[in-house]
Every structure is written in structure tokens, then in C-alpha cells.
């Protein structure tokens, strides 16, 4: 083949001609494609639960569960609304369900969990197991497992929904299916998986099926409380995160699902954490107490039940200025994703 | 807290008020967020090398390497130009470099490789090792390794650039740095890593540093040719992919880099592959021969050096209707990503 | 070199001459070296605790801890006394320590654990952590960690010692060292590792050092009891082992140490297990109840605190003929060893 | 239960009584069971091939293959003849087969390999694949694969047999079975696995069955020679082992079989290695050249085809005092075993 330029090709028309062929010129995009640091798409953001709650109650009253299918306020990062994400790859929403309501059974390839905020008497049925909810419980719905919710208690029930659908959608790996009925029938004893796995680091030997996600339907708050009480003030903890505990998959000791790490941390009175940044995007939820997180120099004062978005590579530090009260934060992040792909970086500042 | 709706909240203003708080209503987005199957963002697409080549030669002539930094035609999927991607998570470009040209040393957290198409006499310096290029060679530049290119041969040199920056950018994990000089100095013998690793499945025992990526700078075509010749017609191969060989990381037998699997496959004369679809997005490059790939029912007739995009979950099958000539395809995909995250699905059709 | 036999070599003298050169003739040993099935070196054996206990009390009275260093009755399999093993690769002993006694601090490359049988008030100090003992507790001393015992309670304290020294010795990998003092000083709070790891499947995020063994100093019986109570009769369990739970390493979900798997199983009233055999050698200890295990057709009737040896490839089944009482067995085996080396086989019979 | 000693128990009779119950007193064995360092069971030993060869030729002449089944001189360590081992856990033998001879097909759970020393024209059939032998080739027979040998060439054929039966037997995991016929029929093309796997670090994508051992039937000397030639004098190599290359399992980059690591090393003229010791037991075979290995201070001068046993924890160093000739050593060790079990230690001296 010739290596001589064709005189008929002219720069002034070439770009348009190439565009029609699905071709762009890298030299016109280089900076955007290779930023020196991760650009701030997601922004640090704070959702004040006290301001959200009236809307939840309003729509619980005015919008039926049949209309809504899932009655959820999505916490959308103002910097990345196009992807309905809360931070990179992750989503958070607040769901409300009323006594007698049934949320239609379905399944999706996205991994999901629920962290219970308010109420009592509801349950999620996951693969035939009814998992009952109380505040502080972490309930898992790993990808492609049938799940539906039912509320047989009194008063509204609210929880934080955590999903990885921004990631799953961005990878073009999303599937969804409605169940043939409104709800699954219970096929095993209630809360079976928690009963079998949660105590004493003991694994049932008779269970052979070991997928990539934790088999535990619920990590109850009672056990988390027991852990904090046992650890008490004996632990050194982390200078950045205090007494930070990770929920684990009993089959491999790793994160509960391949795309999301879930943690709960106790900040003792007077805790002033060291600042750091890392390439895992993080969502925090205040379980108890109040305090402050400084993200990229901006102060976010949070109270019980609030939600906070900390983007990838944002510097952040936690402070609990109370002299007497603990603060407890639940958090989840896409750390398993960036670690699995060799893209994790962390810096103490 | 009260569970009674606040009468001051009104549906007709609630959506705008919530929007100002970074809140959306899931019931208004549900279908878009949970598609029943991965929606076709990327489209199946075919780049005809004979049509691209004149533009490459034109810009090689009219645009200096100093101006361009990297003189590359980006192969942009018409369905996802916003992300400068060729398929989901992956990028392909055709780079051209002329004798005497030097492409500035830099590094980025994106993983990259080069698959050589035309020319002789150029080399890439990766972490101080000069890696010389010949057509059919696969050269790796795993994330965050310094690399620069120099052409000391004659005639233009063209290669296919494969990168994962659409993924790395979407995860907000992109870093980039320019080297202090235009080029690195050679600090080890030329092609050292290939010489040490490529033969006989033997691993050097004295190398302790084992990152997540292959340490091999170059998988030379001469060895690939030797493999095809040895296998000859003895292998059953795959009914969908023929004699398909994966380039491997000698430390773990897995893909060459954590985000991209690279393969080369031989379609014997008369090969009619079975159709399949999977959730890994794939880019194919024709090394030799001609044939057809049917993607989602659409026929793409390809020739030597062409590039073809096969999106996630698109069904596709390969055919080589020649009676005498092999076709050889090089391909890469994000299969390691979707497998690591538990999101891989595959169906024979 | 010539390939003609040397006429001076004569069969009648060759064997002796070869022997002097460190050479044997395979054709004279073939059957012994390649048995069709694992030959019965270890035999099935039953140690009746009621018969051992008088000797323990006797030597506790007549032999000082200074003389004995460790006052232990070794349970030696009559079939393999040359290796001081209880079954292949594993050892069991019953240790007794009296109030005020101190067992000298030392460490060895063998992995060890203690399963507490009787008494209260003693502790083991492992790497500076005092681990207090109660009946039913499992205490770990992974290889090469300093450990010493002290009894500050009342009455004798007895426990089952489990070690892998027959394996470690057979591999010629045994090391041993005495500590500079009689006892270690406590350097962390008592029972710290249990407090930090045992509840709710939560892992401390601040602990970076993750060796091959569990970091948990003690798996307390209280948690095991809680697990059995929670599981209750909801679980199907195993048809061979009943409600069998494996103690796990929180870092990887695997066995507590690389050479020994520890389990505890509940046989409900009327349980008649299916027979099986496998290539892992097993030692069982009766925590509670009574029952029978049939090993290679021989019936072993066991009572509380007894020990039973089940050799590799022996068929065995458990029966609990009580109409009202559970039987609970603690067991350990070299299953992780044979699995890691690809030598595990199992058959239901 | 009482904690008072029974006055009827008397020390002078207790030991015999306990012995009858399968009980020993630890305080009488403590030193032997917990040595400060691995005791020297195996001794350093050197087999001079020139002295062995006449016996091989003699028995080839005087003992039919039918009588011998396998005509092998076992290299038995004088320190551990009871286990028919060459070093801890490993065995070496020299096998000889004559033209027209057929060694009966069988299989065993022990892993085996052959390293070819002399001759041409024989092949091993492994799982239906005929694998042809030439000097310097490494042939694998992983556990439980049918294998038989046939010699259709001229002159005697000798090779080094390496097996792990001392380990497999000591774990009571040995199984053996004779094939229904004298020989397997070839069911795939000759040398298929080598042809498919040996070149360019390329793995066949169509092979799904991935056990714990390498699928490669033969690592031919031609490829090893190519590797040494390519590496030439460019590599720094190891200060203890020179240019040491490990044969790898293409599925995981690890050792060829779970129990044995195989390596080949080039000692350049004038090489004086650093001394070290480790807890892996090692067997060396001289492929080419001559030199000296100093083991625990004792000098062993070796020549082509000799075999040398280096026990666990023996210090050793290699020297090649030739001014012009390389020395090449093939070696195998139980390093994968001791590493998998957390028992590996190494020291440079």
C-alpha cells in the first residue's frame, strides 16, 4: 500500500468526513480523556432527613403503592443527574411503605441492600425467605434474587435503599424481570440465613451453593450493637474512621457483595479523624448522634438519619464534637470494584 | 416523630422543591433505571481500514507530532460519543507515527495496549524497557507505567491502540502525568521482559514484584504464528470462536490486565460459527483474511485491518466463507471486569 | 556411552551393591508404595474419658508443672505410635493444670488449639493477649505465636490439645523456641481479638496484618450455644453430620488454620447419619450427650468428654439413639491439607 | 466429678496401664516432638550416574518388563529408607525401558513427572495422549491420570521419575488402579496439549476443564533451550540460583502440580551462588556441565546426569568453576506443599 498522502484529502473537510465514519481526532480531546486527577463530576452533598421526611409522608398518603411500584425518594447527586446516581456507580434512595402495602416481587441484576431507618413490622422476602426489618438492620438483596416487601406492622416503615445500578447500567449488564405473582410465598423459615450464619463465626457445613455474594439475608442491629459493646473502648480503631467494622461475606471474608462494601463506624465523643482521600466513592448515613464531615474543605453538619455523598478522590474527615455522645455512621462504597480492577488509590492528608 | 402528612406539602409543587434538594421520584424513572435487558447504547459498527487510512496519512503529513502529542484517529461508537468509547468501557484508536518522531513520555491510570498493524522500526519504551514493534505484535502498557514511542525506521508505522479509559473515567479513577523529559532513557536491555517470559511457560524465579498486570512488554506475532502452526488442525476449538487463544498474565494465568482480555482467533476456511451473546463488550480487529460477522442480524463484511464493535448482549457469529484462506481476528473485551463483578452472562443462540 | 550390559555386574550381588549406593529396586517394593487404597496405619480408636481422668489427677498431684513443662496425656493411635499421632497428621492430648500453675511460655511452628473440657479460671496468653477459658471454648494458637498458660482459678482445669505436629514434623518444618521469661506480660486488653471479631460477622477495618490463620484467640461456647439455639430445628443440616458448623477465619471464610478444620455438630435425638468415608483424618470429642459411631463396621459407644479417632478413608456414621437429648461433637481434621494438595476424596456409602 | 486423686493409681504402674489405653505422657517425649530446628532425617546425598548406569543396563538385560512392571532404580535417602523417600515427601528414581517394551497402564493418586535423560523413540500415553520423549523434556503425569509407556525407538531410554508418593502415602491418601488393558489407545493427536499450550503464553479458550494441575503433557527441552538463549546474559538472575526458571501451570501461573515445583537453572561459568536454607526439600539433577554444591558444609562434586538430595533446612550453595561452560540443573521440591500450609521459611546465609 502506498504511504503517500492523498492530495484529495483536505483538513478543512476531513473532520466532518471522519465524523461521518465514526472517527474523531484524539488530539482534539486529549485533556478531557486523560485528566490529571479524577474530575469532580459528583459533588459532595448532604441530604437532611428532616427536610425529606415530609415529602415521604406526603407521597405515602397521596400515591398508592400500586401506582408507585416502589415509593422511593432518589437521592440524586446534583453533579451527575444524567445517571441517576448518588455518587459514582452507586445509588441511594429513601423508601417508605405503609401497613398493608405490598411492593411487587421482581428481580434485577443490580445488587441491592436495605438499611432500616424507621418503623417495625415489615419484611422483605428474598428467594423465598422472609427477612424481618428493624431499625439498624442491614438486609441484602444480591443481584438476580427475587424480592418483594410487605408491611404487616403499624405506622410507616422507612429505609435506605442502596444499589449499584449506576454501575450495572454503565456496563450495559442490566436485566430486570417481574415475578409472576405479586409476592413470593415463603419457602423456608423466616430469617433462616441470619439464624444460620450470624453467630460465632460459624459456617453451616451443609450448604454447598456459594455464589459471589453473602448468603446472609440480614445483619441485625442487635449483633452490631453487641459488637460495639464488646469492643467498647479497647480498640485502637482507625485514626481516620474510628471503630470501623465491615460487614462480611461468610464464604470469603470479603465484602457482602462484589460491588459494594458496607461498613458501620463508631466515632467516640471528641473524635477528630485524620483527613484522607481515595478513589472509592462513598455514601454515609447517620445511624445515631450528630457531627461534622469536612469534604474538600466544606463543612457538612449532620444529624441522625441524614445522608452524605463523598465523591471519589474528595478529601474528607469526620468529627464528633459531642463530649458525651457517640456518633454512629453506616456507609457503603464501590471500593470492591476499584480494588478488583486495580484502580484503588488512597492518601492520608 | 409524627407520621402524619404535613398539609403544607402539595404534589404540584413537591417535585420542583425536591429537585432543589437533590431528590427525584423513583416512580417517574423506574423503567429507565431497570431495563429488562441491556439497552443498545453502543451500536454494532464497522470501521473500514481502507477508508481510514487516507486520513491517517493526511494528518501524518499535515499535523506535527508536537502539535498532536498522540496522532490518533479515535474509533467512536456512534451510539455513545459522549464518552468517547468504541464499546462500553473500551476505546480503540489507530495511531500513526513517522520516522524520527517522538511521542512524549507520560503515564495514566488507564491500562493500554498496542496491536501493531503496519510498519517497522518503531519502539515503545515502557518503564525503561524499549519494546520493538512488528505487525501482529501485542504490546502492553499497564496502568501508571511511563511510556513513550519513537520511530527510528522507515515509512509510517500504524497500530491499534486499545484502552480502558471509558471505564476508568466512568469510575472517576483517572490520573495522568507528563514525564519530566520527552522520552525515558533505556534502563534495561531491549525487549527484556519478552525475552524472559515468552518461551516454554517458564517463569523467572528471581522476579519478586508481581502486580495485577502481565509483566510481558510484548507478545510477538512470531510466537502467535508458532502457536497456530503447532495447533494446526488438531484442535477441536470452539464452535463459536474457532481456534481462539487468550494472551495470559504469567503470574496468574488470567487476562493480561485486570480490565481487558486479549485474544487472537483463527477461523479456518469454511468456518461458520454458532451465534451467541454475552455481557462483555468486544472489539475485533482483522489481522488476516476476510469474512463476515453477523451482529444482531446485520451483516458486516470485513477485510484485513478493519475494526468491528460488538456491544454487550448483542448476538454475533463469525463466518469465513473462503475455501482456502484462514481468517485471523485479534479481539479485546471487558470480560474480566464483568466477571470480577459477578455480572457476566452468556447464551448460545 | 555404551548401552551394552557390563558382564561384571551380577544379579546376586547387585542388590547389596546398590544398597550401599543408596539405591533400591522399585520392582521389589511396588505394591507397598502404591496401595490400591490407603492402608490402615491409624486404627479407629476410642478414649474413654472416665478411664483417663484418674491418671490426669494422679499426675497433677505427683508431677510438678516445672518437671512436666506441659502435663499432658497424649492420645496415641495404637497403629502409629512411632509418630506420636492420634490420626494421620494430627495429635490430641488432654492437658491438666492446677491453680497457681504456670506453663512455661514458648512457641513452635506447629499450629495448636485448645478445646476446654473442665474447670474455670485459667487463661492462655497468646502474643500478649490473655485469653480466658471456659468449657466448650475453642482457643487458637497458630504457629509461631508465643503462648503460656496460667491458672488463677480453683480446682483443676482440663482441656483437649489439638496440634498438627505429626504433619509439621513429617515435613521437616518444625521449629521450637522457649520464651526468655516464664510468662509473657499482657500487652493488650484481655480477650481483645474475640471481642473485636466474634459478633455479627463484622471485621475490624483498622487491622492490616492478615496472616494465613484466624486472628481470633477464642471462639467462646456462649456464641456456639447461641448459634445452635438460633438454628434450632429450622435447618435441614447434613444427612451425614447433622447440624454441623465450621469455625472460620474471618479474613477468608476458610478453616481457622491452614492445616486444621474445626467443627462442632449437633446430632438431634434419633439422628441416624448416613455413612461416608473421605481422605481427611478426623478426631472427635464429645461435648455433650452420648451416642455411637460406627467406624469400619465397629461400634464405638461414646459418652461426654470422650475422644474418638477416625482414620483417613475409614467409613463412619454417627447415631444418637436418645429420644430426648442432643449429642454435640467437636471435631477437627486435616481436611484443609488434603484439599489444598488436591488429595481429597469423599464417598457416601 | 471429684477432683481428688485416686489413691489406687500409682506412678510405677501408671505408664504401663496408660500405654494399654493408647495413652502416653507428653513430658517423656517433649524434646523429640518439638525440636528447636528440623532434625536431619534425610541426609544430603549424591548419586553418581556413572555408577548407577551399569546396574540399569544389567537389569534391563536380565529382568523383563513384565516381571518388573516398572524397571526403576529408586534413589533412597540413607536417612529415611523406611519411607522409600529421596528427600522429605519426594521420591526420585531412574527408569530404563528397552525398544519394544511396554510398561503396563495404571494410575495412582500420586503426582508424577518424568525428566528425560537418555535415548529417543519412547512415548508415554497420558489420558489417551501420546507424549513423545527427548532428553531434557519434562513430562507430567498428574495424579489419577492413566499412563503407560512404550518404546518404539532404538537403544535404551532412561529418565528420571519424580513422584510425591512419600507425601501421599504419609497422608494416607494413596490410591492405585491397573488399567483394563496393557496400554491405552491414543484418543487425541500426539503431543496435543503441548502443541496447544506451549507457545507465546497463549491459552486455548475452548478448554473448560481446569483441574489443579497443569494440562501440559510435555515441556520440551527445545523451548527451555529457546528460553535460555533468549534470556542469554541479559538477566540479573538470582544471587543464589542464577538464571532459574520455573515450569508453570498455564491456568494459574503456579507450580505444575499442587505438590511439586519444577525448575531449571543455568549457572554461568564462574557462578558462585550465595548460600541459603529453606524448609522445602529439594532434588537436583544435572542436565549439563559439572560443578559443586556445598550442603551443610560438605562438598558434592557433580557431573552430567547425577542426582543430589538437599534436605529441608540444609544450607546449600551452587558453584560452577568452569571458565567456559555453563552448568544446567533441573530441580524439583515440595515448596508448594510447605507454602500452602504456611510452613515455608527461608534464610540467606
User: For the purposes of burial, counting CB atoms within 10 Å of the CB of A32, is it exposed (0-12), middle (13-18) or buried (19 or more)?
Assistant: exposed
E strands, B120-239, in order: 122-126, 129-132, 138-141, 147-151, 157-163, 176-178, 202-204, 218-219
Q: Which residues of B touch D245 (CB under 8 A)?
A: 200, 202-205
B106/B180 Cα distance (integer angstroms): 9
Residues 6+ apart with CB under 8 A from B2: none
- What is the structure's pLDDT at C156? 95
Crossing angle (nearest 10°) for helices A11-20 and B49-62: 150
Distance spanning both ends of chain A, measured CA to CA: 56
Crossing angle (nearest 10°) for helices C11-20 and D49-62: 150
Closest Cα of chain A to C237: distance in Å? 6
**Chain B residue with Cα closest to A79:** B22
- What is the structure's pLDDT at A4? 86
Q: What mean pLDDT do residues B235-260 have? A: 96
Verify whether the Cβ–Cβ distance D195 to B230 is below 8 Å. Answer: yes
pLDDT tens-digit series, residues A156-197:
999 999 999 999 999 999 999 999 999 999 999 999 999 999
Verify whether the Cβ–Cβ distance A223 to C202 is below 8 Å. Answer: yes
For chain D, the domain total comes to 1
Across the beta sheet with D202-204, the strand order is B45-47, B307-310, B282-288, B327-333, B261-267, B243-247, D202-204
User: Of the candidates B308, B307, B306, B259, which has an alpha carbon nearest to the alpha carbon of residue B280?
Assistant: B259
A135/A141 Cα distance (integer angstroms): 17
C273/C317 Cα distance (integer angstroms): 5
User: For the purposes of burial, counting CB atoms within 10 Å of the CB of C111, is it exposed (0-12), middle (13-18) or buried (19 or more)?
Assistant: buried
A267/A288 Cα distance (integer angstroms): 10
Compute and round to an integer the Cα radius of gyration of chain C.
Answer: 23
For the beta carbon of residue D15, count every other beta carbon within 10 angstroms.
13
Say if residues A61 and A113 touch (Cβ distance below 8 Å). no
User: Of the candidates C25, A221, A54, which has an alpha carbon nearest to the alpha carbon of residue D93?
Assistant: C25
Closest Cα of chain D to B195: distance in Å? 5
Say if residues C175 and C109 touch (Cβ distance below 8 Å). yes
Region at A299 (left for phi over 0; alpha for psi -120 to 50; beta for the rest): beta
Please report which confidence band the pLDDT of residue A148 belongs to, taking 50, 70 and 90 as the band edges.
very high
SS3 state of residue C8: coil
SS3 state of residue A46: strand
Per the prediction, chain D carries an average pLDDT of 95
SS3 state of residue C233: coil
Chosen from B173, B280, B335 to mutate, greatest number of chain A CBs within 10 A: B173
Q: Which residues of D touch C28 (CB under 8 A)?
A: none
Chosen from C61, C171, C336, C338 to mutate, greatest number of chain D CBs within 10 A: C171
Q: Which residues of C touch A206 (CB under 8 A)?
A: 235-238, 241, 244
Query: Shortest CB distance from C22 goes to which of D21, D63, D75?
Result: D75
Verify whether the Cβ–Cβ distance D202 to B244 is below 8 Å. Answer: no
In a domain, D228, yes or no: yes
D293/D270 Cα distance (integer angstroms): 13
In a domain, C203, yes or no: yes
User: Of the candidates A292, A299, A301, which has an alpha carbon nearest to the alpha carbon of residue A319?
Assistant: A292
Query: Shortest CB distance from A249 goes to which of C206, C226, C253?
Result: C253
Q: Which residues of A touch B58 (CB under 8 A)?
A: 5-6, 9, 11, 14
Q: What mean pLDDT do residues D233-254 have? A: 94
Verify whether the Cβ–Cβ distance D24 to C211 is below 8 Å. Answer: no
Q: Which residues of D touch C89 (CB under 8 A)?
A: 170-171
Crossing angle (nearest 10°) for helices C49-62 and D11-20: 150
Verify whether the Cβ–Cβ distance D312 to C45 is below 8 Å. Answer: no
Query: Shortest CB distance from C206 goes to which of A244, A249, A264?
Result: A244
Please report which helix (H) or strand (E) contains residue A277, including its range. strand A276-278
- Residues paired with B328 in a beta bridge: B266, B288
Verify whether the Cβ–Cβ distance B230 to D205 is below 8 Å. Answer: no
ipTM: 0.96
Chains D and A: 3 or more CB pairs within 8 Å of each other: no
Say if residues C140 and C217 touch (Cβ distance below 8 Å). yes
A259/A108 Cα distance (integer angstroms): 14
**Chain A residue with Cα closest to B14:** A55
Say if residues A55 and B18 touch (Cβ distance below 8 Å). yes
pLDDT tens-digit series, residues B207-221:
988 889 999 999 999
Residues of chain C with pLDDT under 50: none
**Residue A40 in this model has a pLDDT that exceeds 80:** no
In a domain, B38, yes or no: no
Query: Shortest CB distance from D205 goes to which of B189, B220, B244?
Result: B244
User: For the purposes of burial, counting CB atoms within 10 Å of the CB of C174, is it exposed (0-12), middle (13-18) or buried (19 or more)?
Assistant: buried
In a domain, A35, yes or no: no
- What is the structure's pLDDT at B69? 86
**Residue A24 in this model has a pLDDT that exceeds 80:** yes
| Inter-chain contacts counted by CB atoms under 8 A, chains B and D | 155
Cell of residue D163, nine digits: 513422584
Verify whether the Cβ–Cβ distance A345 to B175 is below 8 Å. Answer: yes
Region at A33 (left for phi over 0; alpha for psi -120 to 50; beta for the rest): alpha
Residues 6+ apart with CB under 8 A from C226: A199, A200
SS3 state of residue C328: strand
B8/D130 Cα distance (integer angstroms): 85
∠ CA A114-A115-A120 to the nearest 5 degrees?
Answer: 95
D149/D217 Cα distance (integer angstroms): 13
Longest CA–CA span in chain B (Å) reads 80
Please report which confidence band the pLDDT of residue A23 belongs to, taking 50, 70 and 90 as the band edges.
very high
Please report which helix (H) or strand (E) contains residue B58, including its range. helix B49-62
Please report which helix (H) or strand (E) contains residue C153, including its range. none
Please report which confidence band the pLDDT of residue D239 belongs to, taking 50, 70 and 90 as the band edges.
very high
User: Of the candidates A138, A250, A249, A139, which has an alpha carbon nearest to the alpha carbon of residue A204?
Assistant: A250
Instruction: Count CA atoms closer than 13 A to C143's CA, side-chain side.
Output: 25
Query: Shortest CB distance from D5 goes to which of C58, C70, C177?
Result: C58
In a domain, C31, yes or no: no
Q: Which residues of B touch D253 (CB under 8 A)?
A: 203, 248-254
∠ CA D83-D88-D93 to the nearest 5 degrees?
Answer: 70
Closest Cα of chain C to D184: distance in Å? 20
Query: Shortest CB distance from D263 goes to which of B205, B220, B263?
Result: B205
Verify whether the Cβ–Cβ distance D195 to B253 is below 8 Å. Answer: no
Cα→Cα distances B332→A254, A338, B286, D207, Å:
29, 20, 12, 19
Q: Which residues of D touch C73 (CB under 8 A)?
A: 18, 23-26
B137/B262 Cα distance (integer angstroms): 12
Cell 424481618 belongs to A132
Crossing angle (nearest 10°) for helices B11-20 and A49-62: 150
pLDDT tens-digit series, residues B73-97:
999 999 987 789 999 999 999 999 9
Domain harbouring A250, CATH code: 2.60.120.10
- What is the structure's pLDDT at C233? 87
* Alpha-carbon torsion (B303, B306, B307, B308), positive or negative: negative
Verify whether the Cβ–Cβ distance B263 to D205 is below 8 Å. Answer: yes
Cell of residue C181, nine digits: 521469661
**Chain A residue with Cα closest to C247:** A202
**Chain B residue with Cα closest to A84:** B33
State the residue range of the domain holding C90: 45-348
- Residues paired with C69 in a beta bridge: none
Verify whether the Cβ–Cβ distance A224 to C202 is below 8 Å. Answer: yes
SS3 state of residue D165: helix
Cα B81 from chain centre: 16
Cell of residue B163, nine digits: 484502552
Verify whether the Cβ–Cβ distance A22 to B75 is below 8 Å. Answer: yes
Cα→Cα distances D27→B265, C93, C149, Å:
67, 12, 16
Query: Shortest CB distance from D11 goes to which of C35, C62, C72?
Result: C62
Say if residues A164 and B171 touch (Cβ distance below 8 Å). no
Q: A touches which chains (3+ CB pairs under 8 A)?
A: B, C
User: Of the candidates C222, C230, C316, C325, which has an alpha carbon nearest to the alpha carbon of residue C268?
Assistant: C325
∠ CA C128-C130-C135 to the nearest 5 degrees?
Answer: 145
Q: Which residues of A touch B53 (CB under 8 A)?
A: 1
Region at B313 (left for phi over 0; alpha for psi -120 to 50; beta for the rest): left
Q: What mean pLDDT do residues B224-243 have? A: 93
In a domain, C287, yes or no: yes
SS3 state of residue D51: helix
**Chain B residue with Cα closest to D226:** B199
Count Cβ neighbours within 10 Å for each residue of D311-349 and write b for 16 or more, e otherwise: bbbbbbbbbbebeeebbbbbbbbbbbbbbbbbbebeeee
Which DSSP state fits D111?
A: -
Q: Which residues of C touch A227 (CB under 8 A)?
A: 198-200, 202
Please report which confidence band the pLDDT of residue D56 belongs to, taking 50, 70 and 90 as the band edges.
very high
Per the prediction, chain B carries an average pLDDT of 95
Please report which confidence band the pLDDT of residue A325 belongs to, taking 50, 70 and 90 as the band edges.
very high
Verify whether the Cβ–Cβ distance B26 to A73 is below 8 Å. Answer: yes
In a domain, B195, yes or no: yes
pLDDT tens-digit series, residues D24-55:
999 988 778 999 999 878 999 999 999 999 99
Query: Shortest CB distance from C227 goes to which of A202, A220, A232?
Result: A202
Longest CA–CA span in chain A (Å) reads 80
Residues 6+ apart with CB under 8 A from A222: none
| Inter-chain contacts counted by CB atoms under 8 A, chains C and D | 288
∠ CA D173-D336-C114 to the nearest 5 degrees?
Answer: 65
**Residue A55 in this model has a pLDDT that exceeds 80:** yes
**Chain A residue with Cα closest to B170:** A88
Cα→Cα distances B231→B234, B262, B267, C90, D137, Å:
6, 19, 13, 48, 19
**Residue A241 in this model has a pLDDT that exceeds 90:** yes
User: Of the candidates B43, B262, B54, which has an alpha carbon nearest to the alpha carbon of residue B158?
Assistant: B54
In a domain, B23, yes or no: no
B288/C55 Cα distance (integer angstroms): 83
Which DSSP state fits C28?
A: G
At A45, give phi and psi (nearest 5°).
-150, 150
Amino acid at each position: 500500500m502506498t504511504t503517500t498522502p492523498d492530495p484529495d484529502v483536505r483538513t478543512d473537510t476531513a473532520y466532518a468526513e471522519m465524523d461521518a465514519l465514526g472517527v474523531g481526532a484524539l488530539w482534539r480531546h486529549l485533556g478531557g480523556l486523560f485528566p490529571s486527577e479524577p474530575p469532580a463530576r459528583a459533588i459532595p452533598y448532604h441530604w437532611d432527613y428532616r427536610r425529606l421526611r415530609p415529602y415521604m409522608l406526603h407521597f405515602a398518603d397521596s400515591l398508592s403503592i400500586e401506582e408507585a411500584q416502589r415509593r422511593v425518594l432518589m437521592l440524586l447527586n446534583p453533579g451527575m443527574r444524567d445517571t441517576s446516581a448518588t455518587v459514582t456507580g452507586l445509588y441511594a434512595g429513601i423508601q417508605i411503605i405503609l401497613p398493608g402495602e405490598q411492593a411487587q416481587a421482581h428481580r434485577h441484576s443490580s445488587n441491592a441492600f436495605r438499611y432500616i431507618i424507621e418503623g417495625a413490622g415489615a419484611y422483605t422476602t428474598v428467594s423465598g425467605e422472609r427477612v424481618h426489618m428493624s431499625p439498624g438492620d442491614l438486609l441484602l438483596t444480591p443481584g438476580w434474587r427475587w424480592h418483594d416487601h410487605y408491611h404487616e406492622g403499624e405506622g410507616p416503615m422507612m429505609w435506605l435503599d442502596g444499589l449499584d445500578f449506576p454501575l450495572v447500567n454503565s456496563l450495559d449488564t442490566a436485566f430486570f424481570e417481574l415475578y409472576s405473582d405479586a409476592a413470593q410465598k415463603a419457602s423456608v423459615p423466616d430469617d433462616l440465613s441470619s439464624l444460620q450464619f450470624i453467630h460465632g463465626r460459624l459456617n453451616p457445613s451443609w450448604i454447598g451453593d456459594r455464589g459471589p455474594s453473602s448468603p446472609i439475608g440480614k445483619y441485625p442491629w442487635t449483633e452490631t450493637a453487641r459488637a460495639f459493646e464488646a469492643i467498647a473502648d479497647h480498640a485502637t480503631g482507625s485514626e481516620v474512621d474510628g471503630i470501623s467494622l465491615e460487614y462480611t461475606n461468610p464464604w470469603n471474608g470479603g465484602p457482602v457483595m462484589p460491588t459494594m462494601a458496607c461498613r458501620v463506624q463508631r466515632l467516640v465523643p471528641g473524635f477528630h479523624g485524620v483527613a484522607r482521600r481515595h478513589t472509592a466513592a462513598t455514601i454515609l448515613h447517620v445511624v445515631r448522634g450528630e457531627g461534622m464531615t469536612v469534604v474538600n474543605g466544606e463543612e457538612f453538619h449532620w444529624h441522625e438519619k441524614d445522608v452524605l455523598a463523598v465523591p471519589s478522590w474528595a478529601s474528607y474527615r469526620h468529627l464528633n464534637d459531642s463530649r458525651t455522645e457517640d456518633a454512629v455512621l453506616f456507609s457503603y462504597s464501590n471500593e470492591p470494584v476499584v480494588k478488583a480492577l486495580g484502580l484503588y488509590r488512597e492518601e492520608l492528608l
